Chain A
Amino acid sequence: MAVQQRKRRLIGTVGSILLLSALATACAGNSPKESASGSSGTGSAKATGQTTAQATEQPIDHAQQAKKKFDPPVTITTAIIQDQLDNAFKPGETIENNVFTKWMKDNMGIELKFDFVVGKQSDYDTKFRLLLASGSKLPDVITGMYTDQLDAGLLMPLNDAIDKYASPNLKKLFAQYPQAFDSVTRDGKIYGIPRFLSADEGGVMWMREDWLKKLNLTAPKTIDELEKVLEAFTKLDPDGDGKPDTYGLAVSLKDGMYTWMASADPIFGAFSDYMAPEFRSIGQWWNPDKDGKLVYSAVDPSAKPFLETMARWKKNGYMDPEAGVKDAMKAIEPAVNGTAGVIFGPNWMGQWPLEDTAKTDPNAVWKAFPIPAGPDGKIGRVVQMTGGAMSFSKDFKHIDAWFAYMNKMYARQFGKDDPYYDPTFDVGFFEGYDYVKYDGKIIKNGFKEKGVPENMWPLASGKEMDMKYALYALNGAFTPTVPYLGDPGYAKFAADPNAQAANAAEERVKNLTKTQLEAGNVRQTQNQADKYNAFGGPLSETMKSKGGLLTKLESEAYLKIIYGDKPVDYFDEFVKEWKASGGEQVTADVNSWYESTKKK
């Protein structure tokens, strides 16, 4: 009975939507004005280095496209990496059959099929190697852009599709960050849609405020002032136990000058215009110089004063003597256990791990400060702008459907004015899934604490659901985000926790804790310091064959200089050796790739 009823209702809905869309089509056909406004998007042309926004052959009307339901339904195949997650689906629902796949089918006429679902990235890569080796059909939508597949001509060029189907806001975003397209462009053709990150992980300077107060110091604004604070934290017994058991800086240098916590990248950025090097790959990092040529940051002469400073701090005992053998997880320990008073890292560190300092020292107060400026007033830090890309099989027939879906998902970020904004998703996606309505309020987390009756909890465990596998399956389970979009929220919610969020990005900020909010607010005042990697191409032959040797040279030189095994002038010798060992060729390769992304 119930099934029948639901079916009937479904047919009704489908029917009415069909009628509506037919009407909309008719209207659109009759009003050239409306369709013209649709095509007036800024165009992705800028992304490819082009300046003119070309009119495409058949401009589409976004207002109409937003309501479109594909009939007959189109099937999109994809493949996804799903980590073990117990809160991704309700019991009985799966990645292939859940509330959102049903919604997509009923409302957009898109049917989702998974060619395979694997548990980790390496399995995913292997699958694609095998598909290539066996010549089998690719999934329509692919997470990542495989150079092998691109070489084999199996990927779809997207320039026209972006022009035609991307929502005006999405095109604006693409045009705003053209560098994000470098890594997915070959010979002027775009083969991937970059997945933007919220770019809110830039480092701040975490400092023990209680130590500062105790020693009558103010927060340092420059590297010189920081050095004085480090000296005081090392020599003046800030923890007051009468023992010389403290020092200034907790930092990890084993994997490079940049890591995800306890990083040295803001110190590097105080001296250099480029990104603090990582020792992991020759692809990290390349930044454009004044002439538009890409430079490998580790061998730029501006690294020399940085190394000199670090070596001095090491010699004077201002920083963790074991920084060179510690990875990020190890390097945070002295900060957490009350040995070190300064650590650089993202705004969330105030919660975890630094909150735990209070367990050993109840008076400990970690506070976020702006990163200090160098002698020339430079500030800089490493920020990731994109996290991979989506690419598409050349045989994919329904790129319009993918964009229709993506426009909708992005519209939540852009807010109510976006033509693709779906009011159904005003307060959340699905009641009983990512939110519940209780007592006239929308509740998204902490159901138990907020007194929601147990039978209304989305999951029996009372946990919130992580819906990214359901909602964003066609974006590789990656929440569509817009760089810096949530930033206005930091100041707003720090002042008034109950303020109204303007969009989904601010909504996310609203849910942060107080320390995270304050630190994020400090972070966003220095967004001009953010530096992004400009190299995203495939590794050239020389990069593959010499990369390991070059990063070895680099890591040894950096650590030996900082540890005083070699004088600072050894840097020049290292650069010479680096160039002679293939670095020169690699620089040429990287720059010819960079050229190739610019030319049409």
Chain B
Amino acid sequence: MRETGIPTVPAPSVTRTRSGRFVSYCRRTWPLHLLLLPAFLITLTYQYFPMLGAVIAFKDYKPWLGIWGSDWVGLEQFRYLFSFPDIKQIMWNTIVIAVQKQILSIVVPVLFALLLNEVSRAAFKKTVQTLVYLPHFLSWVILGGIFVDVLSVQGGIVNRFIGMFGADPIFFLGSNHWFRPTIILTDIWKEFGFAAIVFLSALTSVNPNLYEASEIDGANRWKQAVHITLPAIMPILVVVSTLALGRILNAGFDQIYNLYNPLVYQTGDIIDTFVYRVGLEGGQFSFGTAVGLLKSIIGFALIVTCYRILYKVADYRIF
């Protein structure tokens, strides 16, 4: 009786068991949690805590008043951004340049990776791979100077080439017609090699048995690429594309700042360069923060939407 008497009081016993389980869990795993603690604290301190600073987007931040001492202004900074007469043009420039860059910066590296994957000589493959990702490590400050020369209308190598076909030289960096394509292509040239690394590594993980099996079934190289290689890298492709959406308002400050000029403000002035020039006039912290926040919110919203759609429609979880 005494023995059965204990289970007749189930509630405390369950709790005791649960808390007992928790205690024993902690006892078993506390060293692991301890190991995690520094990383957790660092992330909290350097990633999450500073996010609170974004509150100055809603304030008229003055350094000497501090974050809390500064006046609340609500959405004034956002209103200010949209009060500029040419903000529509600037938004449009940003989106047009960024979207084209994002699309090409996925398509080109994937194609390149697929092509390079077909190369059978390892030495050649490695050499090419190294050569194409080298530009990634050059800064736009240096490349800006180089491109002014390369694209020069007086003896620049590109215009000399165009001249061989009898065409007039093109003022790539000074013409509103050519500035955007120039920006996009030079950016792709700089980054595609580096972006291809992810896809190349995904390709190495494809099971060679699949290719052997498909060969027996009579698949040629093209069929193999479409039915084995592409599906194999699809997950990584989806992740990369979704994450790229978060950068939809980042058209590349470094690059454009180093290549643009007043002649092409009309097609080349993007949010970041504009805010830089406007905010520079008297250190407008709040304004800069507000624009950064706006960009992050839009990027975040796009990622979440895309994630949801993929999950609902294709039942596909990317993270």
Which residues of B are found within 8 Å of A282, using beta-carbon distances? 281
Looking at B64, B145, B173, the one whose CB has the most chain A CB atoms below 10 A away is: B64
B85 touches A559 (CB 8 A): no
Q: Determine, out of B272-280, B289-297, B301-309, the stretch whose residues face the partner at the interface.
A: B272-280
Looking at A148, A334, A556, A558, the one whose CB has the most chain B CB atoms below 10 A away is: A556
A148 touches B63 (CB 8 A): yes
Q: Judge if B66 is at the interface, Cβ distance under 8 Å.
A: yes
CB distance from B39 to the nearest CB of A (A): 29
A548 touches B280 (CB 8 A): yes
Among the listed B63, B86, B282, which residue makes an inter-chain contact with A539, where contact means beta carbons less than 8 Å apart? B282
- Which residue of chain B is the closest to A132 with respect to CB atoms? B64
Which residues of A are found within 8 Å of B49, using beta-carbon distances? none
Q: Judge if A281 is at the interface, Cβ distance under 8 Å.
A: yes
Query: Which chain A residues in 268-301 approach chain B with CB under 8 Å?
Result: 279, 281-282
A325 touches B280 (CB 8 A): no
Give bound CA distance, A329 to B141, whole Å: 13
Q: Judge if A551 is at the interface, Cβ distance under 8 Å.
A: yes
Among the listed B64, B279, B280, which residue makes an inter-chain contact with A152, where contact means beta carbons less than 8 Å apart? B64
CB distance from B156 to the nearest CB of A (A): 9
Which residues of B are found within 8 Å of A254, using beta-carbon distances? 261-262
Give bound CA distance, A551 to B274, whole Å: 11
Q: Determine, out of B1-9, B15-23, B147-155, the stretch whose residues face the partner at the interface.
A: B147-155
- Which residue of chain B is the closest to A556 with respect to CB atoms? B262
Contact A324/B154 with A132-B63, A552-B277 known, Cβ cut-off 8 Å: no
Q: Judge if B135 is at the interface, Cβ distance under 8 Å.
A: no
Contact A581/B171 with A129-B63, A322-B152, A543-B281 known, Cβ cut-off 8 Å: no
Give bound CA distance, A544 to B279, whole Å: 8
Contact A324/B281 with A545-B80, A548-B274 known, Cβ cut-off 8 Å: no
CB distance from A317 to the nearest CB of B (A): 10
- Which residue of chain A is the closest to B153 with respect to CB atoms? A321
Which residues of A are found within 8 Å of B65, using beta-carbon distances? 133
Give bound CA distance, A326 to B265, whole Å: 15
Looking at B152, B261, B266, B284, the one whose CB has the most chain A CB atoms below 10 A away is: B261
CB distance from B254 to the nearest CB of A (A): 16
Q: Judge if A560 is at the interface, Cβ distance under 8 Å.
A: yes
B282 touches A325 (CB 8 A): no
A325 touches B265 (CB 8 A): no
Give bound CA distance, A547 to B275, whole Å: 12
Q: Judge if A105 is at the interface, Cβ distance under 8 Å.
A: no
Q: Judge if A357 is at the interface, Cβ distance under 8 Å.
A: no
Give bound CA distance, A547 to B274, whole Å: 12
Mask: chain B, 129-152; 1 = CB below 8 Å from A; 0 = not = 000000000000000010010001
Contact A581/B174 with A148-B63, A539-B282, A545-B80 known, Cβ cut-off 8 Å: no
Q: Judge if A259 is at the interface, Cβ distance under 8 Å.
A: no
Give bound CA distance, A3 to B46, whole Å: 51
B281 touches A547 (CB 8 A): yes
Among the listed B62, B174, B277, which residue makes an inter-chain contact with A548, where contact means beta carbons less than 8 Å apart? B277
**Could you tell me how many residues of chain A have their Cβ less than 8 Å away from some Cβ of chain B?**
38
B263 touches A559 (CB 8 A): yes
Which residues of A are found within 8 Å of B284, using beta-carbon distances? 544
CB distance from A562 to the nearest CB of B (A): 9
Contact A322/B148 with A133-B64, A549-B278, A551-B277 known, Cβ cut-off 8 Å: yes
A322 touches B174 (CB 8 A): yes
Q: Judge if B84 is at the interface, Cβ distance under 8 Å.
A: yes
Which residues of B are found within 8 Å of A556, using beta-carbon distances? 262-263, 265-266
Give bound CA distance, A324 to B85, whole Å: 24
Give bound CA distance, A552 to B85, whole Å: 12
B278 touches A547 (CB 8 A): yes
Which residues of B are found within 8 Å of A322, using beta-carbon distances? 148, 152-154, 171, 173-174
**Could you tell me how many residues of chain B have their Cβ less than 8 Å away from some Cβ of chain A?**
31
Which residues of A are found within 8 Å of B152, using beta-carbon distances? 322
Give bound CA distance, A560 to B265, whole Å: 11
Which residues of B are found within 8 Å of A325, using beta-carbon distances? 148, 173-174, 261, 263
B145 touches A539 (CB 8 A): no
B281 touches A544 (CB 8 A): yes
Which residues of B are found within 8 Å of A565, using beta-carbon distances? 263
Q: Judge if A555 is at the interface, Cβ distance under 8 Å.
A: yes
Which residues of A are found within 8 Å of B63, using beta-carbon distances? 129-130, 132-133, 148
CB distance from B31 to the nearest CB of A (A): 40
Which residues of A are found within 8 Å of B277, using beta-carbon distances? 548, 551-552
Give bound CA distance, A189 to B86, whole Å: 41
Q: Judge if A330 is at the interface, Cβ distance under 8 Å.
A: yes
Q: Judge if A339 is at the interface, Cβ distance under 8 Å.
A: yes
CB distance from A120 to the nearest CB of B (A): 16
Which residues of B are found within 8 Å of A433, using beta-carbon distances? none
Give bound CA distance, A152 to B69, whole Å: 14
B174 touches A563 (CB 8 A): yes
Give bound CA distance, A279 to B65, whole Å: 32
CB distance from A233 to the nearest CB of B (A): 15
CB distance from B13 to the nearest CB of A (A): 57
Query: Which chain B residues in 41-85 approach chain A with CB under 8 Å?
Result: 62-66, 80, 84-85
Among the listed B148, B154, B262, B274, which residue makes an inter-chain contact with A330, where contact means beta carbons less than 8 Å apart? B148
Among the listed A132, A148, A548, which residue makes an inter-chain contact with B278, where contact means beta carbons less than 8 Å apart? A548
Query: Which chain B residues in 234-270 approach chain A with CB under 8 Å?
Result: 261-263, 265-266, 269
Query: Which chain B residues in 199-217 approach chain A with CB under 8 Å?
Result: none
A324 touches B262 (CB 8 A): yes
- Which residue of chain A is the closest to B258 with respect to CB atoms? A327
Which residues of B are found within 8 Å of A552, using beta-carbon distances? 86, 262, 265, 269, 274, 277
- Which residue of chain B is the closest to A128 with respect to CB atoms? B63
Mask: chain A, 366-384; 1 = CB below 8 Å from B; 0 = not = 0000000000000000000
Give bound CA distance, A218 to B100, whole Å: 55
Which residues of B are found within 8 Å of A245, using beta-carbon distances? 154
A148 touches B282 (CB 8 A): no
Among the listed A129, A549, A558, A563, which residue makes an inter-chain contact with B84, where contact means beta carbons less than 8 Å apart? A549
A544 touches B173 (CB 8 A): no
Which residues of B are found within 8 Å of A130, using beta-carbon distances? 63
B171 touches A321 (CB 8 A): yes
Which residues of B are found within 8 Å of A324, using beta-carbon distances? 174, 261-263
A559 touches B153 (CB 8 A): no
Looking at A132, A324, A325, the one whose CB has the most chain B CB atoms below 10 A away is: A325
CB distance from A248 to the nearest CB of B (A): 14
Give bound CA distance, A245 to B266, whole Å: 31
Give bound CA distance, A254 to B263, whole Å: 9
Mask: chain A, 150-168; 1 = CB below 8 Å from B; 0 = not = 0110000000000000000
Which residues of B are found within 8 Å of A539, using beta-carbon distances? 281-282
Query: Which chain A residues in 423-443 approach chain B with CB under 8 Å?
Result: none
Give bound CA distance, A4 to B282, whole Å: 55
CB distance from B69 to the nearest CB of A (A): 9
Which residues of B are found within 8 Å of A148, using beta-carbon distances? 62-64
Among the listed A151, A279, A334, which residue makes an inter-chain contact with B262, where contact means beta carbons less than 8 Å apart? A279
Which residues of B are found within 8 Å of A544, using beta-carbon distances? 281-282, 284
Of the A-B pairs whose beta carbons lie under 8 Å apart in the complex, a sample of 19, sorted by A's number, is: A132-B64, A133-B64, A254-B261, A279-B262, A322-B148, A325-B174, A325-B263, A330-B148, A339-B154, A539-B282, A544-B282, A548-B274, A548-B280, A549-B86, A552-B262, A556-B263, A559-B261, A559-B262, A560-B262
Q: Which residues of B contact A (CB under 8 A)?
A: 62-66, 80, 84-86, 145, 148, 152-154, 171, 173-174, 261-263, 265-266, 269, 274, 277-282, 284
Q: Which residues of A contact B (CB under 8 A)?
A: 129-130, 132-133, 148, 151-152, 245, 254, 279, 281-282, 321-322, 324-326, 329-330, 334, 339, 539, 543-545, 547-549, 551-552, 555-556, 558-560, 563, 565, 581
20 further A-B contacts with Cβ under 8 Å, apart from A549-B85, A552-B269, are A130-B63, A133-B63, A133-B64, A152-B64, A245-B154, A254-B261, A279-B262, A322-B154, A324-B261, A324-B262, A324-B263, A544-B284, A547-B281, A547-B282, A548-B279, A549-B86, A552-B86, A552-B262, A556-B263, A581-B85
Closest 8 CB pairs of A and B: A548-B278, A555-B262, A547-B281, A544-B282, A129-B63, A132-B64, A559-B262, A539-B282
